[in-house]
A and B are shown apart, each in its own frame.
Chain A
Amino acid sequence: MYWKSKVLYDALWEQFHPSQDAKLQISKNEYEEIRLVYLKSLTDEAKIQTLILKPFYELVSEEDFSRYIRSLPNTSGYQETDNLAKKILEGNLILFSGLHVFIIDVKKAVNNAATQASVENVIQGPQYGFSENIEVNLNLIRHRYPQETLRIEVQVLNTQIPQSVYLVYDTQFVNEDRLQKIKERLGKIKGKTLQAVGELEQKLNHEKITLFPTSMITERPDRVALNLSQGKVALMVNGTPFLLLAPAVFYDFMSSMEDIYQSWGVSRFIILLRYFGLFISLILPSMYVGVTSFNPELFQVQLALSIAGSRVGVPYPSYLEVLFMLVMMELLTEASIRLPKTIGSTATTVGGLILGQAATEAGLVSNIMIILVAAVAISNFVIPINAMGFALRVSKYFVLLLTTFYGLVGMVVGMIFLTGYLCKLDSFGQPYLRLFLGDNDKDLFNDKETVS
Chain B
Amino acid sequence: MKTRYIYYIILLNMLSNVVAHVPVILIRHRFDGAVMAILVGSILSTGIAMVFFKSLQAFPQQDFPEILKQHTPSWARFTILAYFIIAWFFAGFITIASYSDITVRFINPDISEWQTDLLFILIVIFLANSTTKQVLYILEIILVVNVPLIILIFIHGLRSPYMDWTAVRQILTYAWNWPAWDALAATTYIFTGYANMVIFHRVFSQQISLRWFPLVGVVGLLNLATTFFLPIGYHGTEGVGSYIYPWIATADSIRMELGPVERMVFVFLLLYLSISLLSTLVHWHVGLKLVQGILPSPSSSKNKTWYPLLVLCSFGVLTLVADLLFNEVNLYNLSVWWLRLRLPSEILLVLLLYWIARKVKHETKSTSSAADRR
Contact = CB atoms under 8 A, between A and B. Distances in A.
B137 interface: yes
A443 B137 CA distance: 13
B210 interface: no
Nearest to A294: B108
A412 B273 contact: yes
Interface in B242-278: 260-263, 266, 270, 273-274, 277
B133 A413 contact: no
A319 to B, nearest CB: 15
Nearest to A298: B266
A451 B131 contact: yes
B103 A416 contact: no
Classify the interface of chain A: helix, strand, loop or mixed. Answer: helix
Interface in A416-451: 416-417, 419-420, 423-424, 431, 433-436, 443, 449, 451
A297 interface: yes
Contact of B123 (A405, A416, A423, A443): A416
A406 B111 contact: yes
Q: How large is the interface on B (under 10, 10 to 19, 20 to 34, 35 or more residues)?
A: 20 to 34
A257 B127 CA distance: 33
A431 B141 CA distance: 13
Contact of B137 (A297, A409, A417, A434): A434
Given A407-B107, A412-B274, A420-B126, A435 B141 contact: yes
Given A298-B261, A299-B260, A423-B130, A409 B141 contact: no
Contacts of A104: none
Nearest to A300: B262
B283 to A, nearest CB: 16
A422 to B, nearest CB: 9
Contacts of B325: none
B139 to A, nearest CB: 9
Given A294-B108, A416-B274, A423-B130, A406 B119 contact: yes
A295 interface: yes
B140 interface: yes
B108 A299 contact: no
A416 B127 CA distance: 9
Given A298-B261, A299-B262, A452 B131 contact: yes
A360 B308 CA distance: 51
Interface string B107-135: 11001000110011001001100111110
Nearest to B99: A409
Interface string A389-424: 000000000000010011111101100110110011
B219 interface: no
B142 A413 contact: no
A423 B134 contact: yes
B138 interface: yes
B116 A409 contact: yes
Contacts of A452: 131-133, 202-203
B266 A408 contact: yes
Contact of A407 (B108, B126, B202, B277): B108
A434 B144 CA distance: 11
Contact of A413 (B115, B144, B266, B277): B277
A120 B5 CA distance: 36
B266 A295 contact: yes
Given A297-B263, A299-B260, A409-B103, A431 B108 contact: no
Nearest to A442: B2
A102 to B, nearest CB: 52
B149 interface: no
B1 interface: yes
B107 A424 contact: no
B223 to A, nearest CB: 22
Contacts of B127: 416-417, 420, 424
Contacts of A433: 137, 141
A408, A410, A420: most-surrounded residue (chain B CB, <10 A): A420
Given A298-B261, A300-B262, A409-B107, A424 B130 contact: yes
Contact of A416 (B108, B263, B277): B277
Contacts of A423: 130, 134, 137-138, 141
A22 B270 CA distance: 72
A47 B142 CA distance: 64
A423 B134 CA distance: 6
Contact of B140 (A407, A424, A435): A435
A431 B134 contact: yes
A409 B108 contact: yes
Contacts of B126: 417, 420
Contacts of B270: 408-409, 412
Interface string B133-163: 1100110111010000000000000000000
B33 to A, nearest CB: 37
Contacts of A297: 263, 266
A436 B273 CA distance: 24
A423 B139 CA distance: 10
A243 B162 CA distance: 62
Interface string B1-37: 1000000000000000000000000000000000000
28 contacts: A294-B108, A295-B107, A295-B266, A297-B263, A299-B262, A406-B115, A406-B116, A406-B119, A407-B111, A408-B266, A409-B119, A409-B270, A412-B274, A413-B120, A413-B277, A416-B274, A419-B141, A419-B142, A420-B123, A420-B127, A423-B134, A423-B137, A431-B134, A434-B137, A435-B137, A435-B141, A435-B144, A451-B131
5 residue pairs, one from A and one from B, having the closest CB atoms: A434-B137, A420-B127, A423-B137, A423-B138, A424-B130
Interface of A: 294-295, 297-300, 402, 405-410, 412-413, 416-417, 419-420, 423-424, 431, 433-436, 443, 449, 451-452
Given A300-B262, A413-B273, 6 more contacts: A406-B111, A416-B142, A420-B126, A423-B134, A424-B130, A451-B131
